[in-house]
Structure 1
Amino acid sequence: MLLGTTSCRFDAYPTLLAKDGVLDARTADFSGETINFTGKWEFYWNEFLDPKAESPENKSYLKVGVPWFSQENEDGEVYPSFGFASYRLTILLPDPPVENQTFALFVPVLHSAYKMYVNGELVAENGVISKTEKNYRPSFHVKIIPLKTVSQKLDLVIHISNFSHKYAGIQGIIRFGKLQNIINVWNVNFAVSWILMIFMLLLSVYHALVYFINRSERNALRMAFVYLGILILTSTLIETRILFNLFSDEYCVTLFRLSRIGFVLVMYFGAYILLNMTQLRFFKRMLIFLKLYALTFLLVAILTPVSHLADISFYFEILSGAFVFLGLLSVSLALYFQRKESRLYFFSLLLAIIGGAIDLFLIANPTFGYRPLGLVSLYLFIFPQTLGVTLGLVRVYKRSESLSKELYKRKEALEKKVKARTLELENANRWKANFVSLISHDLRSPLNSVNQILDVIDFSFSETTEEEKKKFLEICKTGVTQSLRMLEQLLDVSRFDAFGAKLIQTRFSVNELLNEIIESVEPLATLKGIRIQKDTSIQAEIIADRTLIGEVFKNILTNSIKYSYLNSEVWIGVSYKGKWLSVEIRDRGLGMSEEQIHKLTGEENIKSMPGTAGERGTGLGLQLCTNILEAHFGKLRIKSVLGVGSSFEISLSKSTKSVLLVDDSGNFRSDLAEVMRRNQWIVIEAGNGEEALSHLSRITPSLIITDLQMPGMNGISLIHEWEGRRHQDQKIPIILISSDAPLSGGDKFLEEEGLETIVSAYFSKMYKAEDLCQQIESILS
């Protein structure tokens, strides 16, 4: 369609130009082409020239193809739009004249009523010409005028009256040639015009259907009105003037008003799309002025008397240039902010503006050699938008198909999860049954140390100095205090079961936690003469459940002391290894075989070996440590040599990129959390708004992702509550998700809730977890 239209617009004029009212066409070849009557004609203002008389001596000349109101007379005065005048042109044809050939004139709309004479004879009349507005009747018909006889010289006189249109006079180009060639030119333009009108109608219906299929595509509905407006403009303004030729002159003014309505539709809905693209407050305020402008222009087009309609419409058309400029500015900013489809709109609008600039140049210089682009400039803007909407619709259907497949896969995955959950329930029961054993395991060591110290004091009470007694009592007091603290921690550990449990994650210093753990096991190490050496030169901070990670450190350090030789050494080191924080504990003791390591980290119940001083244990410590580290996506590596000692390396993510994920759907939350953890996120999960606020009281994450619809406190309430509680420096990006959200758009309600500047994005939960995670990270970056 674009190629067909441009083929009608880019036909170059022959180089023949009228000079001082004479067009010399004696060298023209009429066998396969037509000539255009361009150049300067004789012009007589406020005079109907006698077509049979000779030209008066006092004459002036005026360009055709340009309205007379934009040209000056000999005194430098601009002709007014309303009035009457005569044009005259003498055409010199080849010698001898061509015989047995019918020639014709192709006359476009001449604004806006005329009588045409050839060699003194009236050959055409369009509308009713008059010297006053009272008897004048406009007409916008296009005519093909066959000429009965053609001599070597044609004297063409045109009387024109205009009291209704801003652009008065011979603005179009009159063509002359063989009748068959003229008809061919008309047929091409006529066919292209009808095809364009049908195409615009289909596009308008198509975009309306796109909107009704996917209600979030509001721009599709606006584009439907844009195409409807272009359909009106195509049928009333381009060269063939389809509607004007279909109806009599009685409907001329009505159709002229209709063309202004088409302009309003294109201007309003097109500018609305462009100004709304940046989502900035300034451009949203401009939308108010755009609505007032469009409504006023619409009333002007419908109600203004025809004598004033042309003038007033002209100024409204000029004012529309301001909205074009604002639209270009809006799209440029949208491109800078990387808004959706901004690149497509920017380049298509830029092409349309370039086309418009070319038109202004060609209208001002009709002798340049090309016809104005007209609506082709508008097609440069609208066709890319249709392409964008179509591609968006294709993406929706592909997404629908993908979601159908995904639902089937999730159904299968759900069946697998049911089986896995059954196994987890069995494991949970096993953990609860062994919890008493865990308590005895963790409390026995410090209490044994206190008991042994009391035995020493009792055995040699009289020989022990007061200073030593005081020191031993302080050690006993510390041991009992640590045991009480340990009991509280163990009660916290009881929330950890085979489900991976609820992690209460905070940001804390690993060095400070290790110091507390070392202090708690110091009595046991002192009794065996074991020195605890630290290499904690780096100040490491992580986000994790402090109590559970402390339990891991305490279990492993206690075991190292228990299985170390008397008067030996336990070494603790903290270092960074790539994306991981490594805490390593090495001892010099009994060591383990590969088989023993496998059994200790497995799930079967085993009986632990006694320590180097006969200490007993449950054998469940390393199993607990492994499960806690798995819940934190950490790792435990054990290396050991029998009779030499063991090395325990605890690897934890050093990332402080944390996200609070709030969703009442456990399956969705776990799927998204797993993907985000693979992308080095520390994920803190919450099942509702209240639980999320509890987490926020302890830690400030890098990002909050919350479901919109949740029982109790929903996502909107959570955001409002958090905004009311947070400190000024706790500005956290928030992303809202919902299963009801469309795949694009649908965030209008955020303005009503006052959250448009707080919520960074609103996404559908129908996306795959991988795709959703990718979009979230693109928003943050």
Structure 2
Amino acid sequence: MVKENGRIGKSRTEMVPSYKHPSLILDNSFGDELELCLQISNFYHPTGGLRKSINLSDIQYFNESKKNENAIGWLVFGATFMMGLYHLIIYIMRKSDKSALMFSIFCLDVSFRTFFTGSVFLYEVFPDEYWVYIHKLDLLTFVISLPFFIYFLQSIFPNEVHKIPIKIISFAGIIFVLIVLLSYSNFYMKLIAVYQLLMVVGIIYCIYILIRALLQKREGSVIFFNGSIFLFIIAINDILNQMLIIRTGYYANWGLLIFLFSQTIMLSRRFSMAYYRLEELQKSLDLKVKERTIELENAKVLAENANKLKDKFISLVSHDLKSPIASVIGILSILKSEINEMSNEEKLLFIQRAEMSSRNSLNLIGTLLDINRLQSGEFELELLPYSAFSEVEKVINKLWTQIQEKKIKIENAVDKDLVIEADKNLLNEVFMNLLTNSVKFSNKEGRISIECTKLMDGVEFSIQDYGTGIDPSLLPNIFEKEIRTTTLGTFGEPGTGLGLPLVYDIITSFHGMIQINSTKDSGTKITFTIPTKIL
């Protein structure tokens, strides 16, 4: 016997199976003719015997072929093992994406399977007595490859993969794993053809899934489809070789390497797109945070301003209503204590004073509320056609009693045809306060003139009186509510000191401007402009 591979025997206990690829150097001692006699025994494999054709070649060529085969095997192992390890680390860092885990397990399974195909490294390294255990590992790496590939496919295209086929393939995989672990090789190799048929059906189902993903234009479906088709062709070739139907050789290593490389490209694009979307989401989130921060800051400013307005309003109300209410209480106290000693004329005088004080208080409250609404932004302008001449005449008519009492001559020089766009109530409030002040501080038989000039982007109104004028020391704070600048009129008329601040706020709400020119004992001219449309 020149060479022995395993050990032949007449029974299972006598023989030792082997998958080694032995080589024999033939020199001139064998003569010109060579007669080979092979003794084969098989009690472990249903298709045992010579698994490959006998290769007769030059020794140098033979050695080079073995080296190339070993190099390819280690190349595929190293590449697939590093791919699996790399994607396992990615999954550990980002556990929300199961595709990295499934691909990692599939790569690691493929990498270990390279030890059983091609150069059959593990069969060559370990003694033949361990063939049974190595062969079980060989079959296990083959059996679990399909379930993990299907799970990987589901993690990439979840909408295209149905649950029932996955359960069937997973259940079949578990059954065959148990059969391989618990039975003899001669038994499970008879059944492995059933699983190989299931794998062919599984490959067809995977192609169906990939076609659906292509039609739905899923991300990465083109790369996945091309790599998978190449792998399926190689897988079918290797299955037919294992069943000894064809003898084209095993190309699983090359097929798997090309497929896994294509999947690495697909997953890399998938992760890069996920990272890109995460960056865009982060930018969008940062922008929203900035916008929300600005909104909160603005809301805080508005709240603080509203709080200040509330405090000012309460301060003004409490300060300005104190004197009129005290005056009414004083008048009523005098009436209560001396009513029997008073004449009817005196009683009427006290009642008139109480009524006047109450009316002044009511006017004060209305003015304060208007100022507060204007400054808080609750007063919205209602811009409508405004006939300036007729509206000014209406205001003049409301002051007819005071005007007649002082015999004042009022000249309304506003163009009768002038119509502008303005808020009627607010602008009338401006004229009411300004004309009230002009009448209040005009002397008997005085004169008041009202004029209007058209501008490029609005109008300019002016109200001129020739009364007592304003003390120059009061002008700097004339529009301040906190600093009261009220004085008595020429007939002793009282004031609230809030008329001009209200006028200022209204003009400001119109985005206009107001100016006061006054000379002591010579009169006052108030000019204000408002941007508006002339209709």
Seen in structure 2, the aligned counterparts of structure 1 residues 192 and 278 have a Cα distance that, compared at 3 Å, is closer
- Per the alignment, residue 384 of structure 2 pairs with 560
Q: Is residue 2:141 matched to residue 1:317? A: no
Task: Specify which of 245, 251, 256 is matched with residue 378 of structure 1.
Answer: 256
- Per the alignment, residue 164 of structure 2 pairs with 285
* Alpha-carbon offset, residue 289 of structure 1: 1.6
- Per the alignment, residue 114 of structure 2 pairs with 234
Amino acid at match of 1:590: I
Find the aligned partners of 2:510 and 2:224 in 1 and give their Cα distance.
61
Q: Deviations over 1:265-300 (max 9, x none)?
A: 311111112245443597112222222111101101
* Alpha-carbon offset, residue 378 of structure 1: 2.6
Find the aligned partners of 2:36 and 2:182 in 1 and give their Cα distance.
38
Task: Specify which of 15, 18, 21 is matched with residue 142 of structure 1.
Answer: 21
Report the secondary structure of 2:132's partner residue: helix
- Per the alignment, residue 54 of structure 2 pairs with 174
Q: How does 1:170-249 map to 2 (within 5 A)?
A: 170-236=50-116, 238-249=117-128
TM-score by length of 1: 0.39
Mark the runs of 5 or more structure 1 residues left unpaired by the alignment.
1-121, 436-493, 499-547, 567-587, 598-604, 606-616, 624-638, 646-781
- Backbone CA RMSD of aligned residues: 4.7
* Alpha-carbon offset, residue 429 of structure 1: 6.3
Structure index of larger Rg: 2
Task: Specify which of 225, 228, 231 is matched with residue 352 of structure 1.
Answer: 231
Find the aligned partners of 1:429 and 1:562 in 2 and give their Cα distance.
35
Q: Deviations over 1:163-192 (max 9, x none)?
A: 323443433243222222211111121122
Seen in structure 2, the aligned counterparts of structure 1 residues 315 and 414 have a Cα distance that, compared at 3 Å, is same
* Alpha-carbon offset, residue 301 of structure 1: 1.3
Find the aligned partners of 1:428 and 1:158 in 2 and give their Cα distance.
105
> Retained in 1: the 8 A contact 2:91–2:100?
yes
- Per the alignment, residue 388 of structure 1 pairs with 266
> Retained in 2: the 8 A contact 1:210–1:393?
no
Find the aligned partners of 1:431 and 1:173 in 2 and give their Cα distance.
101
Find the aligned partners of 1:262 and 1:145 in 2 and give their Cα distance.
31
Seen in structure 2, the aligned counterparts of structure 1 residues 361 and 247 have a Cα distance that, compared at 3 Å, is closer
Between the two proteins, the alignment pairs up a number of residues equal to 358
Find the aligned partners of 1:325 and 1:365 in 2 and give their Cα distance.
21
* Alpha-carbon offset, residue 244 of structure 1: 0.5
> Retained in 2: the 8 A contact 1:358–1:372?
yes
Find the aligned partners of 1:565 and 1:360 in 2 and give their Cα distance.
103
> Retained in 2: the 8 A contact 1:138–1:162?
yes
* Alpha-carbon offset, residue 127 of structure 1: 1.5
| Higher helix residue share | 2
* Alpha-carbon offset, residue 224 of structure 1: 2.0
Structure with higher RCO (Cα < 8 A, 6+ apart)? 2
**Sequence identity (%):** 20
> Retained in 1: the 8 A contact 2:46–2:186?
no
> Retained in 2: the 8 A contact 1:593–1:641?
no
Q: How does 1:673-692 map to 2 (within 5 A)?
A: none
Q: How does 1:436-585 map to 2 (within 5 A)?
A: 559-563=383-387
Find the aligned partners of 2:455 and 2:114 in 1 and give their Cα distance.
88
> Retained in 2: the 8 A contact 1:138–1:252?
yes
Find the aligned partners of 1:432 and 1:243 in 2 and give their Cα distance.
88
Seen in structure 2, the aligned counterparts of structure 1 residues 622 and 192 have a Cα distance that, compared at 3 Å, is farther
Q: Deviations over 1:10-49 (max 9, x none)?
A: xxxxxxxxxxxxxxxxxxxxxxxxxxxxxxxxxxxxxxxx
Find the aligned partners of 1:426 and 1:308 in 2 and give their Cα distance.
86
Q: How does 1:262-281 map to 2 (within 5 A)?
A: 262-275=141-154, 277-280=156-159
> Retained in 2: the 8 A contact 1:274–1:328?
no
Report the secondary structure of 2:57's partner residue: strand
- Per the alignment, residue 590 of structure 1 pairs with 420
Mark the runs of 5 or more structure 2 residues left unpaired by the alignment.
314-372, 391-417, 422-453, 460-478, 480-504, 512-530
* Alpha-carbon offset, residue 408 of structure 1: 8.0
TM-score by length of 2: 0.55
Seen in structure 2, the aligned counterparts of structure 1 residues 246 and 422 have a Cα distance that, compared at 3 Å, is same
Report the secondary structure of 1:138's partner residue: coil
> Retained in 2: the 8 A contact 1:272–1:287?
yes
* Alpha-carbon offset, residue 410 of structure 1: 7.9
* Alpha-carbon offset, residue 419 of structure 1: 5.4
> Retained in 1: the 8 A contact 2:160–2:209?
no
Seen in structure 2, the aligned counterparts of structure 1 residues 358 and 201 have a Cα distance that, compared at 3 Å, is closer
Report the secondary structure of 2:3's partner residue: strand
* Alpha-carbon offset, residue 210 of structure 1: 1.2
Report the secondary structure of 1:161's partner residue: coil
Report the secondary structure of 1:141's partner residue: coil
Q: Deviations over 1:126-165 (max 9, x none)?
A: 1223455453321011122111326554333333333323
> Retained in 2: the 8 A contact 1:275–1:286?
no
Task: Specify which of 183, 208, 228 is matched with residue 304 of structure 1.
Answer: 183
* Alpha-carbon offset, residue 248 of structure 1: 0.4
> Retained in 2: the 8 A contact 1:335–1:343?
yes
> Retained in 1: the 8 A contact 2:154–2:161?
no
* Alpha-carbon offset, residue 560 of structure 1: 3.0
> Retained in 2: the 8 A contact 1:276–1:284?
no
Find the aligned partners of 2:201 and 2:388 in 1 and give their Cα distance.
84
- Per the alignment, residue 259 of structure 1 pairs with 138
| Higher strand residue share | 1
